[in-house]
Structure 1
Amino acid sequence: MTGSNSEAHVVCQVLGHVDLLTGISWCDQMQRQTRAVLGLLVNARGNRLTVSRIAELIWGEKAPSSANDVVYKHIRKLRGMLGPGADAVLKSARSAGYWLDPARCSIDAVNFRDLVSTGRFHYARGEFHLSASVLEEAIGLWRGDEAFADVREVLWLQEAAVALETERAWAEELRADCYLRAGRTHDALALLAALQVRHPTREGVWALSMTAHAAAGMSAEATEAFARFRVHLRDTAGLDPSPRLGRIHAAILDNVSPVELLMVMADVHCVTP
């Protein structure tokens, strides 16, 4: 399965460091500000950005007097990297600015979101093996844990990165949920152990972990996980677990069957981020 722009000749990557692939070669010598300009154009999702707007997003109120000239310089560099087909990919209008043509440019963040949407579709249909496979492909597009990793000093890109990282965390949870419902309990446990380290305050991760342990016949470990999360949440945020998580804990203490536990879990873990 592929994302939405699989026929494009140019690949832009932001799920990690910002990179550009033209033809068969990566433009790995891009300066940091060139990457920032590319990141802004990618994040604009085909909408037009004027040179002054790009300068404002990069420097804010600290923009130098030469900011527009610097932006033009990096636009020219991007055009040079794109080669003879630059005008078809990086479009411009005299007064309306610049934009990337979505039909000519494959963007990993777009493909990630499209695949997650497909995974949600299969999950809603009860096709858990297929949903897990699609979600694995989506998460496999990431090159590290941070989006826009080398240009996060640009506030707009930092905000976009946080949104993407949150969507990834949710997709990982849904993937673990699929593993559970497809009978892949040990795969779910392995994934959730890693997610607990990366997202120690995400309640969905702990709800799934408790459910997975109980489904594997490890009820003691499930109740221990609840206790650890409760202590961590109180220590870090001064909060208690939600009543929804409490219902899972109570079901585990009542020794409900794995099927019944998954029904309780359905009330806690929704298929929307």
Structure 2
Amino acid sequence: MPYAFQILGPVGLARAGEPVRPGPPKRQAMLAALLLEANRPVPLLRLGAAVWPGPAPRSATANLRSHAGALRRLLDGRLAARPGGYQLRVQDAELDADRFTRLAGAGRELLAERRPAAAMAPLDRALALWRGDRAGEGLTRGGWLDARLGALDEQRLDVFEDYVTARLPTRAYSGIVADLREHLARWPIRERCWELLMLTLYRGGDPSAALTAYQHAREVLSGQLGLEPGPGLRRLQRAILHRDPGLDEAAPRESAVLTPVPVAELIGRDTELATLAAALGERPPLVVVSGPGGAGKSALATRAAEPAAGQFPDGRVTVDLASGDGTAAGLAAVLRALGRPVEPGPRTVDELVAAYRAAVSGQRMLIVLDNATDSGLVRLLRSEGLTLLAISRRHKLLVDAAYRVEVAALADQDAAELLTRYAGAGRTGADPEAMQEVAQVCAGLPLALRSAGQWLAAHPDVPVEVYATRLARRPLDGLGAEHPSVRDMLAADLRAIAADYPLAMRVFPILGPAGAVTPEVIAQQLAEDPDRVFFTLEQLVDRWLVESPEPEQYQAARLARAYAVELADTQTNPGSGTL
């Protein structure tokens, strides 16, 4: 019978795909110790040191045998008694720590071969296996178990830094800087991380910020460790001061690559993945992936592009258009991603298009346009030899595209599986009905399911039933573990619509109560023209905030309804504030 063992975060266990509660913390510590010594006998004395970091009780041996008996009932013959101890049989790829180590090793080998684009995928997948901040999260750590789990924690930090190193040639500097600053806020004494931040700031055109980062690093290291920066940091500071040309290493074509998305696995997306991979394999001029925010479109695109890499010998680039402000800003973002930054000063769209055509002339590459909303911009970017992969929250973006893949909400079973991956098998085993209620509130959106799972993993003392009950009443408050949160995502979509259809800010809150309404009903309530209301509602449908079950019948989507209720409350009680 296949098992899945998890120690990268809370200790978890699943049998034949079904989560199993491993038991109380001391039993989890024993299981973690057996997993770290998988397929080898572990003496009782060593197990005792893992379960009781301090002095063990007189009943330690009896307690260990009791825990072993309980584990044997869960593990169906996998746990065997050995002279003076126990041995747990673990098959290949069943333990997440083993997969992490293999993926990390593969990524580092590719980095050593100067293939950063290829290295990004295994490094990203390695990091995505982690379900918490620490290996064995929640266990009382000490002794040899603490050392082994701590080594995994240290490897994770190393792999993050390797991952950032692989991302540098993509020149997605703003995103890299944001990730590094967030990382350093949690682990501030990582000198290599400070070096990467300085180098990224410098290559992004801000040497002053790079030198300021050095001063911050020096203050942190001196204040927390009483040490001056190491030789690597000092050399980098001197190189920045002298504007050493060696710091401006150009990104090779091979390193232009999709920006990975941190999700552990694609669950329930086999059909969409096969369809998208097949479409990319034919190198069409345009492929559109659409779906609601938080559905996992970017993750799907990342995975589907991997087997199609051979079709694009000149590489792949990703451009995030979320922060763009109009066609010209979008073109400038694409040029920066191609290594052709636009000089300061006003530029016309025609000038930018000409620069883009020159940059891609004769190239056979894949350009991924994440958060694409402007059909006109996408059409301007079409060019012979290129394939554009437009990822959009707009349902009706480029309806003339030859290939379209729609990414809808997950089916109930897949949603439950994804929630369990993040919350831990023990949570599902403790109260499967409450976990199902949580999954239903999340409406099948991976972003919401990840957020709920992470909340449950971070609050092990809160019963799932309590969380499910409160989540049903205030879903957006309970789904804030991700950044951006579900509420942030909904607010951004509504603001984007309101920029061209300001009536949306008045129409949308009316849709909070359950049940479909017509444009005429809303128009009467707002004293507005029914035709204006109709076209505004259709824009909300285009962004997946609103559903139209029948012609001229409109209702808010599941999670969007909660946001509409919040907005209505804000308008009624201005002090409550939501946006």
Q: With structure 2 as the length reference, what TM-score do the two structures score?
A: 0.41
Contact 2:10-2:137 within 8 A present in 1 as well? yes
> Does 2:208 align with 1:210?
no
> Does 2:145 align with 1:157?
yes
Q: Tell me: CA distance 1:116–1:245, structure 2 relative to 1, closer, same or farther (3 Å).
A: same
Q: Tell me: CA distance 1:40–1:12, structure 2 relative to 1, closer, same or farther (3 Å).
A: same
Secondary structure in 2 aligned to 1:91? strand
**Paired residue total:** 249
Q: Tell me: CA distance 1:157–1:57, structure 2 relative to 1, closer, same or farther (3 Å).
A: closer
1:110 corresponding residue in structure 2: 98
Q: Give, in angstroms, the shift of residue 63 of structure 1.
A: 2.5
Aligned residue identity for 2:136: F
Q: Give, in angstroms, the shift of residue 16 of structure 1.
A: 0.8
Q: State how far apart, in whole Å, the 2-side matches of 1:261 and 1:130 are.
A: 22
Give matches, 1:1-273, under 5 Å: 9-28=2-21, 30-59=23-52, 62-82=55-75, 86-87=76-77, 89-93=78-82, 95=83, 97-103=85-91, 106-257=94-245, 260-261=246-247
Q: State how far apart, in whole Å, the 2-side matches of 1:113 and 1:232 are.
A: 30
Structure 2 spans left out of the alignment, 5+ residues = 250-579
> Mean Cα displacement is larger for which, 59-68 or 162-171?
59-68
The 4+ residue runs of structure 1 with deviation greater than 4 A are none
> Which structure: larger Rg?
2
Contact 1:209-1:222 within 8 A present in 2 as well? yes
Identity level (%): 27
Aligned residue identity for 1:50: P
Aligned residue identity for 1:65: R
Secondary structure in 2 aligned to 1:106? coil
Q: Deviations over 1:76-131 (max 9, x none)?
A: 1111122xxx22x22333x2532122326711111111110001011111111121
Q: Give, in angstroms, the shift of residue 21 of structure 1.
A: 0.9
Q: Tell me: CA distance 1:205–1:10, structure 2 relative to 1, closer, same or farther (3 Å).
A: same
Q: With structure 1 as the length reference, what TM-score do the two structures score?
A: 0.84
Aligned residue identity for 1:40: A
Q: Tell me: CA distance 1:159–1:255, structure 2 relative to 1, closer, same or farther (3 Å).
A: same
Q: Deviations over 1:159-184 (max 9, x none)?
A: 11211111111111111111113433
Q: Deviations over 1:147-198 (max 9, x none)?
A: 1112233432221121111111111111111111343323321221112112
Q: Tell me: CA distance 1:227–1:78, structure 2 relative to 1, closer, same or farther (3 Å).
A: same
More helix by share: 1
1:271 corresponding residue in structure 2: none
Contact 1:10-1:104 within 8 A present in 2 as well? no
Structure 1 spans left out of the alignment, 5+ residues = 1-7, 264-273
Aligned residue identity for 2:184: Q
Q: Give, in angstroms, the shift of residue 55 of structure 1.
A: 2.6
Q: State how far apart, in whole Å, the 1-side matches of 2:214 and 2:33 are.
A: 42
Secondary structure in 2 aligned to 1:149? coil
Q: State how far apart, in whole Å, the 1-side matches of 2:105 and 2:150 are.
A: 19
Q: Tell me: CA distance 1:137–1:235, structure 2 relative to 1, closer, same or farther (3 Å).
A: same
Q: Give, in angstroms, the shift of residue 218 of structure 1.
A: 0.8
Q: Deviations over 1:219-269 (max 9, x none)?
A: 111011011111222222222112221111111112234xx1167xxxxxx
Contact 2:22-2:71 within 8 A present in 1 as well? no
Aligned residue identity for 2:176: A
Q: Tell me: CA distance 1:232–1:241, structure 2 relative to 1, closer, same or farther (3 Å).
A: same
Aligned residue identity for 2:67: H
Aligned residue identity for 1:41: L
Q: State how far apart, in whole Å, the 2-side matches of 1:219 and 1:104 are.
A: 47
Contact 1:91-1:100 within 8 A present in 2 as well? yes
Contact 1:116-1:134 within 8 A present in 2 as well? yes
Contact 1:148-1:158 within 8 A present in 2 as well? no
Q: Tell me: CA distance 1:169–1:60, structure 2 relative to 1, closer, same or farther (3 Å).
A: closer
Q: State how far apart, in whole Å, the 2-side matches of 1:60 and 1:165 are.
A: 19
Contact 2:30-2:50 within 8 A present in 1 as well? no
Q: State how far apart, in whole Å, the 1-side matches of 2:43 and 2:37 are.
A: 11
Q: State how far apart, in whole Å, the 2-side matches of 1:60 and 1:136 are.
A: 33
Secondary structure in 2 aligned to 1:99? strand
